[in-house]
Amino acid sequence: MGKSKQIELATPINMMIKGDYVNNRYLIELRGNRSIREVSRRTGISHTYLTSLEKGLDPRTNNKRKPSFETLRKLAEFYNINIIIFLINIEIISKEEIKEFTSQYNL
């Protein structure tokens, strides 16, 4: 089995973000009957941050959450979802942007 290549995606993903919005309902749906603390333990993401992602707002500033690519990657891996599908479903990138994104990184 070939070694998977590391890709630096932070800049391109951030350039493609359609604003600060993350589809928090999708995150809630994915979690299902798991507790926030279980997801936290298994992903290494704090339970307070996960809660704010699901609510869609930073509790200190009331600004919409804009998670890092690393956070999104951890969640996609935990939920066993292809990262491209995950990014579309949380509305970080659109279906139209996928061709450019996947060809740029040979995904």
The residues pairing with 57 across neighbouring beta strands, listed in sequence order, are 64
Q: CA–CA distance from 12 to each of 33, 55, 68, 104, 105 (Å)?
A: 33, 26, 12, 10, 10
DSSP string, 53-73: HHHTB-TTT-PBP---HHHHH
Per-residue confidence (pLDDT) for residue 77, from 0 to 100? 95
pLDDT tens profile 69-102: 889 899 999 999 988 888 888 877 777 777 776 6
- Whether the pLDDT of residue 50 is over 80: the answer is yes
Reported as a single tens digit per residue, the pLDDT across 1-24 is 444 444 444 434 444 444 445 678
Identify the pLDDT of residue 107.
62
pTM: 0.71
The residue among 32 and 83 whose pLDDT is bigger is: 32
Tell how far CA 40 is from the center of its chain.
14
pLDDT digits (tens, 9 = 90+) for 56-69: 888 888 887 778 88
